[in-house]
Amino acid sequence: MSKVVRARLRALVCRMRVARRDAGMVTSEYAMGIVAAVAFAVVLYKVVTSGAVSAELQGIVKRALGARM
């Protein structure tokens, strides 16, 4: 093998080792991600089910269903 090919293979292997060490999240990061996602879902649910937003969404749906082509 030529020196260039060996150098490229060595660099590729080194990058793969670094990628494997930091490939994913640990359990605590998963837990924090789940807590954040649930909190965001709760806030979004509260906003969507509030009176003003609910009335606006119903108005949009009524206009869309009443539109003529």
User: pTM of the prediction?
Assistant: 0.47
Is the Cβ–Cβ distance between 60 and 67 less than 8 Å? Answer: no
User: Domains of the chain: which residue ranges?
Assistant: 25-69
pLDDT tens-digit map of 11-60: 877 776 655 555 566 788 889 999 999 999 999 999 888 888 888 888 89
Q: What is the pLDDT of residue 53?
A: 85
DSSP alpha helix (H) spans, the chain: 3-21, 27-48, 51-66
